[in-house]
Amino acid sequence: MSVEAFLDTNILVYHLDDADPTKHRVAERLVRSALETGNACISFQVVQECLNVGLRKARVPLDADTARRYLDTVLIPLWRVMPSDRLYHRGIELQARYGYGLYDSLIIAAAQEMSSSTLFSEDLQHGQVIDGLTITNPFLPGGAH
C-alpha cells in the first residue's frame, strides 16, 4: 500500500493548536485533505507524540475527552504505520547515513514504508530528497502543494 504524503507530528500539533493562525490554516488544509481523500497518513509515533504534546505541552492542554475525540476522529483514521523490526532497522540506517536523530529517522522510515513521495515536516531539511522521498516544509511560501 502506498500513500502520497506522510504528516510529521508538528502538522498535527498545529492542527490542534490555533496559536499561530497561519500555520493552523495550513495544517487544517493538509489534515482535512488527508481525511477526505486518504492521500496522507501517519505512524504510531506521530499518534504518541501528538497526544503527548496535546495533553501536556500545548498552550491550552487537551482534556481527556477532547484527546479521545481527536484520537478517534483524526489520528486513528490517518494511522497506517505500526512499529516493526524492519522500521527500526531502517531508522538506524537513516540516522547513520543522514545524521538525523533516531526519532526523526523513524518518521522518515515510516514515510518510506508507505512509499510516500512527500514528507510534510517543519523540523527536517526542506527540499532534501531521501531515496525518492522529498521533505517539504508546508509552512514556507510555496511549501504545501
Q: Residues 15, 129: contact at Cβ < 8 Å?
A: no
Q: Which residue has the cell 497518513?
A: 41
Contact, 81 vs 46, CB < 8 A?
Answer: no
CB 75 within 8 A of CB 41: no
Which pLDDT score is estimated for 23? Answer: 96
pLDDT at 141 (0 to 100)? 87
> What is residue 91's predicted lDDT score, i.e. its pLDDT?
99
Q: Which residues pair with 134 in a beta bridge?
A: 118, 129
pLDDT at 142: 72
**Which is nearest to 106 in space by CA: 92, 127, 118, 117?**
92
CATH architecture of 5-136: 3-Layer(aba) Sandwich (3.40)
- pLDDT at site 2: 82
State which residues of the chain have pLDDT below 70.
1, 143-145
Cell of 84: 516493526
Res 145: pLDDT: 52
